[in-house]
Structures are given as structure tokens and as C-alpha cells.
Amino acid sequence: MGLRARKIHALSLLFILAAVFGSGAFLLAQDLSSGSYTILKRYLYPRYNGNNEIEYLVYGMTAVNKGSLINLTRPMIDLVDGSYTSIRQIDTINPNDLYPEPYPLGSKDKTIQRFWNDSHHRHSQAWIFAEEAVFDKSTNILTSDNAAHFRSRQLDADGVGFDADNDRKFIHIRSGVRVVLRLKEKKAPAEGQTDPQPQKEETKP
């Protein structure tokens, strides 16, 4: 089945997602009164929910911890599909691996499929890429003034600057937003047949 791309331009865009960043992330805070801080290279932090399922992975080429703030270079957020209870079940990006790059907006289907078929991405619902970002542990908000790239299996977006708020459960790309929405094409019924009746979705109480 082919895919149809639709481009949408807007000044700002709000993505409602599952919890992206949770409280308690980065447990390496130092006491700034002593002037100390922590620098980590090839940072990886897995976030679990109350059901002991992995919600997301936070990567950083470097992570500098100063008080309540974590300064990340090359931050990447891997939003996991919710069916994994151990990081050992996921092919994480190791220190010797190359960091993945977001495919260009509007790429051909083969390029997009190659990205999602990679072993580092098969477990993922979406990825967020940036050059730099700051995570404030006191507010559970990650912010960046740099170019941001959001990639998911149904929607891709690029923009400048973003704010990710765990408590309000959203990611807001501030400006210059460009979006590609991939829709499955409707299959035409065979000759002499009518469209099948849509099935009702089962709802949970």
C-alpha cells in the first residue's frame, strides 16, 4: 500500500504525546555551592512508568549537570512503544555506535522505511532530535532554542525551538514549523463489491 504525504505549514505546533520527560530524571545533581558539577559523555537514561514499562530513553552526546539544570548536546529522545519492561530488550545506541540522524523532511518511502526498520528504531513510536537542550529537573521541562526534528511513523515535523513539558504532557515546537503527515491510501473495492462497513473500535471502560 502506498503512502500519501501532505505538507502543512504553521507558525507553531503542539504535539500531544505520552509523558516525555518524568520527574527524577538525571539523578547526578551536584551542590553548586561548592562549585562542582558533573560531565557525562554518551549519556543514556531510561524512564520507566508505574507499570515498570519503559516510556522513553534520553540520549546525549554530553550531559553537564549544574544544580537543577542538565545541559545536553546532541540530545535525542526515543519514545518507546510501551511493551518493554527491560532496557535489555531494546537495541540501545552504544558508545561506539554512530548517532542516528533524522531523515530529511519529505523523504521517499524507502528512506523512511529504512530508518524505522533499523534495529535501534523498531521499538520506537517517535524520536526527537536537536543540537542542544536544557532539562530543568525542578519543572520537568526540556527546552531548546535550536532546530528541532520530530519523527514518528505517521507524522514528521521540523521547526526552531521547542518546549517539552512532562506534567502537561506536550511538546511545543515554537516557530518555523513544517509538517509531513503520511496517510494510508484507501483501497478501492473490487468490481461488484461495496465498501465494507467500518468496524467499531472497542473502548475500554
Alpha-carbon distance of 108 to 22, in angstroms, equals: 34
CB 10 within 8 A of CB 177: yes
User: Domain for residue 74, yes or no?
Assistant: yes
User: Domain for residue 194, yes or no?
Assistant: no
Residue ranges of the chain with pLDDT lower than 70? 1-37, 140, 166-169, 185-205
Which residue range forms the structural domain that includes residue 57? 3-91+100-184
The pLDDT value given to residue 160:
96
Q: Which three cell numbers stand for residue 28?
A: 547526578
User: Domain for residue 119, yes or no?
Assistant: yes
The pLDDT value given to residue 4:
45
Give the residue from 117, 114, 55 showing the smallest Cα distance to 83. 55
The CATH number of whichever domain residue 8 belongs to comes to 2.60.450.10
User: Domain for residue 56, yes or no?
Assistant: yes
The pLDDT value given to residue 37:
66
The pLDDT value given to residue 183:
80
The residue written with cell numbers 507524522 in the block is 155
User: Domain for residue 198, yes or no?
Assistant: no
Q: Is the pTM of this model over 0.75?
A: no
User: Domain for residue 177, yes or no?
Assistant: yes
User: Domain for residue 204, yes or no?
Assistant: no
Give the chain's domain count.
1
Predicted confidence (pLDDT) per residue in 138-197, tens digit? 776 889 999 999 999 999 999 999 988 755 667 899 999 999 998 875 445 555 555 444
The pLDDT value given to residue 122:
92
Q: Which three cell numbers stand for residue 69?
A: 539544570
The pLDDT value given to residue 192:
55
Q: Which three cell numbers stand for residue 9?
A: 505549514
The pLDDT value given to residue 190:
52
The pLDDT value given to residue 167:
53
User: Domain for residue 58, yes or no?
Assistant: yes
